[in-house]
Each structure stands twice: as structure tokens, then as C-alpha cells.
Amino acid sequence: MVSGLFPVVLEGAETSRRGRVLVGPIDLTLDGTGICVFMGPNGAGKTSLLRLMHGAARLTAGSIRWACPLAQARRAQAFVFQRPIMLRRSVRQNIAYPLRARGVARRIALERAEAWAERVGLGGMLERQAPVLSGGEQQKLALARALITEPELLFLDEPCASLDGRATREIEDILLTARANGTSLILSTHNMGQARRLADDVVFMLHGKVHETGSAADFFARTRTHQAAAFLKGDIVE
């Protein structure tokens, strides 16, 4: 898949709530290659920045420019939240929902949903009610529901939080397959092992700002700041 979204350029980008700056100002350029992992301690602003880029948080200062018109960029994206929302419907109907919302015929949407359920390991649960699934199963459903629209870019906020090792491995396999199929991924994680396994590029955040960026190989081999080095060692970073 050749993306028309990138590069995305943030210049002085900020989002605020009730007069308090949640993240920013941010100056950052992403080329959309592979998997970009946002890292940093709790409260660093990772989730807020992902939401800001996706349009789920309001831009209160600065600019975010995609390589295509904004409406086109929004349509080419999807977002998987840390705690995905499950519609009170079957697995099949949950996965089909984004296609139905885009006007795809019911029969075609349900057929594609069934195929995606098989891809993520939920093929035997098509008629099960989504809210009763386990955490790992719900996350697989959320991924299938996001990927069924064939987005050029997928945002993920802590996609494996609270999941066990087996579920984490299965989710990571889905993400790696998505990357291999040409989908750009931007995700946040606290899991250092996951970042090492998945990241092509790293954005390290601190106090609501981008503190350090670089290729994953360079970041994990030789950080440029003592704060990033301390974070990698598991020390408390303030």
C-alpha cells in the first residue's frame, strides 16, 4: 500500500483542556514508514498526542499538516483504544459495523467481517456477544474492526495493556502482518520488550513534549539524553 498521508508535519501543535496544556508545543515530522512507537513515563502525553494527530483531541495551537487534504487523511485512518468499546452485538456485527457505517451492503459487510474474524483468530466466535469476550479477544475484535476498512494508518494506544504473554504475542503478530501489508502503525506502549520487538522508529516523550526521536536501533543502542537512558533502565523519570 502506497500511502498518500505522509509525511505528516506538526509545528507548534498543542492541545489544551480547561486552560491546561496537555501536550505541546510539538514539532515533529513522521514519514509513515513501518511502526513508530511513542514511549515515555505515565503522564508524558503519549495518548494525548496520538488523539491530537488522529483528530480525537482539539488542536488549540500550531498546525498538523498531512500530505493530502484533511478529510481524506481522516478517512484513511483508524484508532484502537486501550480499552476498546464493544457494541452490544455479536462479534460478526461488531467487525462489520465500520463497513455498514460507510454504506457497504449488509451481505458484503458480514462476509468481510467473517473473513477478518478468521484472520485474527475469532472465527469460531462469530455469534458470541462481544461484551462477554476476554480482554485479549476484545482487542483482537477491535483490531479486526479497525483493519477491515483497510486504513493507510492505524493508531493504537497501549494495545496490549493488561494482556498476558500469549495474548500479547497474538496481537503483535496481527500488527506485524498489518505492517507487512503496507499499513503504517503509530502506537504507544509502556512495554519495553514490545517496543524493542515492534518499533522501526521511536518517539520518546516527557512532560508533554517530544524529548528525543530516532530509529529504534539507534535509540535502544545509544540514547542522546540521560532522561531517555534512565527510562530504558527502568528508573523513575521526572
**108 within a domain of the structure (yes/no):** no
Q: What is the DSSP string of 87-105?
A: PSSBHHHHHHHHHHHTT--
In a domain, 121, yes or no: no
Q: In Å, how far are 38, 184, 222 from 30, measured between CA atoms?
A: 12, 11, 21
Q: How far apart, in whole angstroms, are the C-alpha atoms of residue 20 and residue 32?
A: 30
Q: What is the pLDDT of residue 170?
A: 87
pLDDT tens-place values along the chain, 238 residues long? 445 899 999 999 999 988 888 898 999 999 988 899 999 988 889 999 999 999 999 999 999 999 999 999 999 999 998 888 888 999 999 999 999 999 999 999 999 999 999 988 898 899 999 999 988 899 899 999 999 999 999 999 988 887 788 888 888 998 999 999 999 999 998 888 899 999 999 999 999 999 999 999 999 998 888 998 888 888 888 7
Q: Look at residue 1 in the predicted model and tell me its pLDDT.
A: 44
Backbone angles phi, psi at 193, to 5 degrees: -65, -40
How far is Cα 62 from Cα 3, in angstroms, rounded to an integer?
24
The pLDDT value recorded for residue 106 is 93
Q: In angstroms, rounded to a whole number, what is the distance separating the alpha carbons of residues 10 and 29?
A: 6
My answer on whether omega of the bond before 25 falls inside 30° of 0, hence cis, is yes
Q: Which of 90, 54, 52 is nearest to 75 (CA)?
A: 54
H or E stretch at 75:
helix 70-75
Q: Is residue 12 part of a domain?
A: yes
Alpha-carbon span 10 to 186, nearest angstrom: 15
Q: What is the CATH number of the domain that holds 208?
A: 3.40.50.300
How far is 232 from 238, CA to CA, in rounded Å? Answer: 14
- What residue has cell string 530516532? 214
For residue 106, is it within any domain?
no
Please indicate, yes or no, if residue 89 is contained in any of the structural domains: no
Range of the domain at 18: 8-82+153-233
- Identity at 55, one-letter amino acid code: G
Helix, strand or coil, per DSSP, at residue 203: strand
In a domain? residue 17: yes
46 found inside a domain: yes
Strands 20-30 and 201-206: unpaired
- Say if 131 falls within a structural domain: no
What's the number of domains the chain is made of? Answer: 1
